[in-house]
Amino acid sequence: MQIRTLILAITAAAALVATSLGVVPHASAADSSSAGTDAVSKKEERANNRALSHSVRQSLTHVKGLDSSHINVLARGGSITLEGTVPDPSQIDSAAGATRKVSGVSSVDNRLTVGEAGN
């Protein structure tokens, strides 16, 4: 019983010392400035992804014989994902080829499928 009381007393004393010394972590000026830079870089990354998606969509609309109205384009750091449907199997390869030619595209994940007419 005395050992248990001693352990509880030591634990309480350690907790008291830790809180009185201010061991609780706090943000410094350097931490807050780096957080601001991360936010800016994430903002720039999102803007770059939107611009690349837009460029790919523009490119797809200029491909002769490609119906891009049901193609969704997702850009993430140069990687492009194409999702949706096209009316003809040959358009799947046409869309992937046109996407690869866009400046800034590093890879293409082609998830296009052939959709039924009228959908």
The answer to whether residue 86 sits within a structural domain is: yes
Q: Report the CATH number that the domain containing residue 61 is assigned in CATH.
A: 3.30.300.130
- Mean per-residue pLDDT, 83-88: 94
Q: Report whether 75 contacts 83 (CB < 8 A).
A: no
* pLDDT for position 116: 73
Total domains in the chain come to: 1
pLDDT, position 11: 67
Q: Give 50's pLDDT tier (boundaries 50, 70, 90).
A: very high
CA distance 87 to 55: 22
* Full residue range of the structural domain in which residue 119 is found: 50-119
Given a contact cutoff of 8 angstroms between Cβ atoms, the answer to whether 44 and 31 are in contact is no
Instruction: Read off the pTM.
Output: 0.64
Question: Is residue 17 a part of any domain in this protein?
Answer: no
Query: Is the residue at 87 inside a domain?
Result: yes
Structural domain includes residue 110: yes
For residue 84, give the amino acid letter. G
5 vs 49, which has greater pLDDT? Answer: 49
